[in-house]
Amino acid sequence: MEHTSKSYEHELKELQDKIFLMGGRAEEMVSQSMRALIETNADLAKKIIDEDKILDQLEKEIDELCFNLLALRQPTASDLRFIVMNLKMVTDLERMGDLGVNIAERVLELIQEPPLKPYVHLPILSQMAQQMMKEALDAFVAKDEGVARRVLSQDDGVDHLTKQISEELIELMKANPENVSRAVKLTSIAKYLERIADHATNVAEKVLFMLKGEDVRHSEDSVA
Amino acid sequence: MAHRISVKNLKAWFGNKQVLKGVDLELSPYEITAVIGPSGCGKSTFVRCLNRMHEVVAGATVEGKVEVDGENIYAPHIDPVLIRRRIGMVFQRPNPFPTLSIFDNVIAGLKFGGGLDRRRADEVVEKCLKMAALWDEVKDTLHRPGTFLSGGQQQRLCIARALAVKPQVLLMDEPCSALDPISTARIEQLLEELKKDYMIVIVTHNMQQAGRVSDKTAFLLNGELIEYDDTKKIFRSPASPLTEDYITGKFG
């Protein structure tokens, strides 16, 4: 059922659309940063770094929208949860974009030297993080509790693979000091991807709060 | 047509008691301006001065100017009755004429002003009831008394009646304070539609309503205009500490 005020309805839709746009852009930045690594594409990496300002601008627009809604509409119940969670969610999305930029910066450094090894697990880790981002946003738009909970259940897998990649890279560093520089940068990329997945988890938790008024943060019961 | 209202040093008294102490502001077309302030601040008096209703009260006087498109409505040659047609008013309590049907309530202002043929009357009634978002609810019962409608419907009937005389401006003195939340929401949505064609000034003691519907907000206190700005600015970061105190509920 829609609000009687068409302008209020429009403002809420605008907020949802901007969050979705911002999330989509952040996901694209992560996807492209991994492509830049695999293809040793410096131009693509630079483009990602440059695009961060679009995300920064969206963050400001979303904050402004939320601020106005809170000041002028006195939202309650589900509207209040929606607006407050959007305010918090925008921080996660902005950080995801920043982490995509961090990956691109490490890629620019890495492609100065030959690849340390074929990239096998990092693309898989990136794909897992991207999938979590995508599903968290899908859950937000579709208001789907099941999909949000599924995102939460995937975080352990990401942590496990990140640990595995870090251990592999440690072994490479031990084997040859010349590997250290590249291995450290690759470890950083793995950590960035893990944090991106953590932010996707945060988004999913906020979606659950929006839908159910249930705060599942820091809880093992949140996993489906 | 876009109409502007300039209020210049407006003062008003009830007998010896001064209730407005020199208000200056500019009202713009196609906007909703909310007038807020605590009880007794002069907000209803201010709005009633905009269409010369204040002087109807025995002993009430006015000084200063209210210029509509550059013409002072308080000039000696101006007929206040004509002003009240151009600047229509809707009151706090819905007041359809109790002895008239819904149909006759809508055209009451036109009938009092002169002849109106049947075909034209039908057109006006349908148009104004549609503008007031009431047509669908009453089109089959137009000859029932206006008082048979619910409170919210009666208020929309009063808006239709005001619109029938083709005003340039609509003044509303707490139009929703006697209505339930659903009726209030419908009236507020109606105002969003009407502002595309009219300047609207609404007195409200409900600050949240001011936030929801208005483009600009004027805060009055003890007969003085304390602050007048975009509603967003007033409700996000008011310039005056007095405004801040009022809208955050610290007094009044």
Residues whose CB is less than 8 angstroms from the CB of residue B111 and which lie 6 or more positions away in sequence, other chains included: B104
Cβ contact B189–A72 (<8 Å)? no
Kindly state whether residue B65 falls inside one of the protein's structural domains.
yes
Residue recorded with tokens 């402004």:
A64
Q: Is residue B19 part of a domain?
A: yes
For residues B92 and B178, the answer to whether their CB atoms sit within 8 Å is yes
Residue A8 contacts B, CB cutoff 8 Å: yes
Q: Which pLDDT tens digit goes with each residue over A1-49?
A: 888 899 999 999 999 999 999 999 999 999 999 999 999 999 999 999 9
Query: Who wins on pLDDT, A218 or B92?
Result: B92
Choose, out of B232, B233, B234, B248, the residue to mutate when testing the contact with A (most A CBs < 10 Å). B232
H helix or E strand, kind and range, residue A105: helix A77-110
Answer whether residue B178 is part of any domain: yes
> B133 lies in a domain?
no
CB contact under 8 A, B192 and A5: yes
Looking up residue B189, the CATH number of its domain turns out to be 3.40.50.300
Q: Domain residues of chain A, as ranges?
A: 6-222
Range of the domain at B61: 5-92+168-247
Q: In this complex, is the C-beta atom of B192 within 8 Å of any C-beta atom belonging to chain A?
A: yes
For residue B210, the chain A residue with the least C-alpha distance is A72
pLDDT tens digits, one per residue of A76-112: 888 999 999 999 999 999 999 999 999 999 999 999 9
Q: Is the ipTM of this complex over 0.95?
A: no
Please give chain B's pLDDT, 252 residues, in tens: 678 999 999 999 999 999 999 999 999 999 999 999 999 999 999 999 999 999 999 999 999 999 999 999 999 999 999 999 889 999 999 999 999 999 999 999 887 656 678 888 999 999 999 999 999 999 999 999 999 999 999 999 999 999 999 899 999 999 999 889 988 999 999 999 999 999 999 999 998 999 999 999 999 999 999 999 999 999 988 999 999 889 888 875
Residue B106 lies in a domain: no
Shortest CA gap A14–chain B (Å):
17
Establish if A68 touches chain B: CB-CB under 8 angstroms.
yes
In-domain check, residue B137: no
Identify the pLDDT of residue A2. 84
Position A224 confidence tier, pLDDT thresholds 50, 70, 90: very low
User: Which chain A residue lies closest to B185 (C-alpha atoms)?
Assistant: A4
**Structural domains counted in chain B:** 1
B236 touches chain A (CB under 8 A): yes
Q: What is the token pair recorded at B112?
A: 């009092």
Asked if the structure places residue B157 within a domain, the reply is no
Contact yes or no for A7 and B192 at CB 8 A = yes
**Is A73's Cβ below 8 Å from some Cβ in B?**
yes
How far, in Å, CA of A110 to CA of A16, rounded?
37
Burial B167-189 (b: 16+ CB within 10 A, else e): bbbbbbbbbbebbeeebbbbbbb
Contact A34/A107 with Cβ under 8 angstroms? no
Q: Is residue B80 part of a domain?
A: yes
- Per-residue pLDDT of B9-18, as tens digits, reads 999 999 999 9
Q: How many CA atoms lie within 13 A of B189 on its CB side?
A: 18
User: Smallest Cβ distance to B212: which of A6, A67, A73?
Assistant: A73
CATH superfamily assigned to domain A6-222: Phosphate transport system protein phou homolog 2; domain 2 (1.20.58.220)
